[in-house]
Structure 1
Amino acid sequence: MTPTALTVAGSDPSGGAGIQADLKTFSALGVYGTAVLTALTAQNTHGVTGVHPVPAAFVGRQLTTLLDDVTVHATKLGMLGSADVVREVAAVLAERRPGPVICDPVMVATSGDRLIDDEAIAAVRTELLPVADLITPNVPEAAALLDVAPATDVAGLHEHARALLDLGPGAVLLKGGHLGGEQSTDVLVTSAGTTVSRRPRLATTATHGTGCTLSSAIAALTARSGGIPDWPVLVEGARDYLHRALAEGASLSVGSGHGPVHHFAGIWPA
């Protein structure tokens, strides 16, 4: 059977983030991609100027209709937009379980634009995290979910990752890119222990969609792996993919702001 992944997320017309980034990532990593749309956005490489949500009931209908027919081996959650959508998605996932669920709790765009309100954050915290097998927040998203000040060092990453694990997800990958410095440090916490991953920080403005791309890469590799996910191995594979995509992003020359990463680095002709 063809490895199949599902993304539940919003649309990005510029193609660097959201549904578009997820489907590109699935394809680049050899996985058939399916998608449920939660919102339309008006955005480009400079920022988001508007969000038009899909009604929660119709998001649920998209999900159940798809899952009635298609076997999904891993699911990635991105921007869900509203508390009603979060609750609808959580309810369907709790009932249907379309493979391991990787939740990227999208709350703030790379440009700094806030994408969901406090009620939706609360719904993610109480209803979505307990049905997620892995969550992949960045520093400000982790702080919002915990209602604390953002971490300022690696010790803070460890503390916040463990606190997030206590909220119910199976594992937590807390991304430390916002900390700055010469290296980008991520902390993975599972019931089995903690893994720290460090990569050299790349000097590039082609960073649009990095969070979407990493979480969808984890979902794609999970869909291909079969069985119980080995999160340290899958996360490192996804980070390898993202590092290549970041390194080659500037070669695309898309937009005049924070351009997209190159999802097909090493696949398209140079």
Structure 2
Amino acid sequence: MYQRPHVLIVAGLDPSGGAGIQADIQAVTALGCHPLPVVSCLTVQDTCNVYGADAIAPELIVRQLECLAADVQIHAIKTGAMGSAAIVEALARFLADRREIPLVVDPVIKAAGGGDLADDALVEAMKQYLFPLADVITPNGIELAQLAGLDDIGQAAETLISQGCPAVLATGGHGTGPKIINQLFRPAQNASRWAIIRRGGEYHGSGCTLAASIAAGRAKGLDLDTAIDEAQRFVATAIDSPMKVGRGQPVPDRAASLPGATPAQ
């Protein structure tokens, strides 16, 4: 009997299967870890946009977290759409005595189609309670600007770091240009940069996939830079084999790197 590293995932459910907790489960599994999924919110969503979301009761989430923690060793944690400020605060209380577990926070605020996934209270709760506990946060350019109130990527990241965030991976999937540039900002260090070829436009769930992949790497004991390296290679393979699921954005094929996988047609 063997054991894989365990990644606790707290994220929203996407009925299209392209993003959210399903994307996280697929990425974590493909990278050799076992997912522990806790759904934070239910969404009305397709590959085009998010049209609504209802948060799960925080008390139920706390019961799930405590039940899991009593039975299973947690090697890393990844968060996505959180549903409500109350859920963020409940998760922060759960994490208070578990600071040794690497936490990757994908601060999901808006869907690519423009639909809201976080109100002002939720955003402030993430900044106050969750960001200081994180190993790294992974905002895209739009989210980073909203979180810091600044358009310049470097200045925005430095602002969040000055407010207590240990590290910011500013992702470039929503940008333009021939390459997707991801930049890691940490206190008193020069920014590290990673680049992958941009294949067309945006992909439904690519941000979720990257953050979950980093969490998988951290669960396996990789340092943050190495985990990002592995995650970038995984995402690059997934978006090189996009799947057409609906009328909106294509979905990265997170099974493309698995042995015996059949390329999407």
| Shorter-chain TM band | over 0.9
In the alignment, which residue of structure 1 is the partner of 2:166?
170
Structure 1 partner of 2:35? 33
Instruction: Judge conservation of contact 1:75–1:98 (CA < 8 Å) in 2.
Output: no
- Correspondence list, 1:135-214, <5 A: 135-146=137-148, 148-149=149-150, 151=151, 156-191=152-187, 193=189, 194-204=191-201, 207-214=203-210
CA contact (8 A) 1:40 1:51 kept: yes
- Once the two structures are superposed, residues 93-146 of structure 1 have per-residue CA deviations (whole angstroms, 9 ceiling, x without a partner) of 112347200000000112221111001111111111111111101112112221
RMSD of the TM alignment (CA)? 1.5
Opposite residue 199 of structure 2, the aligned amino acid is L
Q: Compute the displacement of 1:177 (Å).
A: 2.7
Equivalent of 1:264, from 222, 239, 255?
255
Q: Which amino acid aligns with 2:205?
A: G
- For 1:1-270, what aligned pairs fall within 5 Å after superposition? 1-97=3-99, 99-146=101-148, 148-149=149-150, 151=151, 156-191=152-187, 193=189, 194-204=191-201, 207-224=203-220, 226=221, 229-249=222-242, 252-267=243-258, 268-270=261-263
Deviations 1:31-63 (A, max 9, x none): 111111101111111212221210112111111
Greater alpha carbon shift after TM alignment, 29-38 vs 172-181? 172-181
Point out 4+ residue stretches in structure 1 off by more than 6 angstroms: none
- Where structure 1 has 5 or more consecutive residues not aligned to the other structure, the ranges are none
SS at match of 2:37: strand
Q: TM-score, with normalisation over the residues of structure 2? A: 0.92
- Check conservation: 2:41, 2:54, Cα contact below 8 A: yes
- Preserved contact between residue 157 and residue 187 of structure 1 (Cα < 8 Å): no
Structure 2 distance, partners of 1:88, 1:12, is: 22
**More helix per residue: 1 or 2?**
1
Once residues 67 and 123 of structure 1 are traced to their aligned partners in structure 2, the CA distance between those partners, rounded to angstroms, is 23
Q: 2:111, 2:104 → 1: CA distance?
A: 18
What is the CA deviation profile of residues 224-263 of structure 1, one whole-angstrom value per residue up to 9, with x for unaligned ones?
Answer: 1x2xx522221121011111111101xx321121121100
CA deviation after TM superposition for structure 1 residue 204, in Å: 4.6
SS in 1 for 2:192: strand
Contact 1:103/1:134 (8 A) holds in 2: yes
Name the SS of the counterpart of 1:106 in structure 2: coil
Secondary structure of 1:264 counterpart: coil
Task: Give per-residue Cα distances to partners, 1:168-212, cap 9 Å, x unaligned.
Answer: 23211011233311221111012362201222211155x000111
- State percent identity of aligned pairs: 38
Aligned residues: 258
SS in 2 for 1:178: coil
Q: Residues 98 and 111 of structure 1: is their aligned pair in 2 closer, same or farther, counting only changes over 3 Å? A: farther
**In structure 1, distance between residues paired with 2:70 and 2:188:** 34
Separation of aligned partners in 1, 2:256 and 2:35: 19
Q: Is the alpha carbon distance of 1:10 and 1:98 closer, same or farther for their aligned partners in structure 2, counting shifts above 3 Å?
A: farther
How far apart, CA to CA, are the structure 1 residues paired with 2:79 and 2:223? 19
Q: Structure 1's 255 and 176: CA in aligned 2 closer, same or farther, altered over 3 A?
A: same
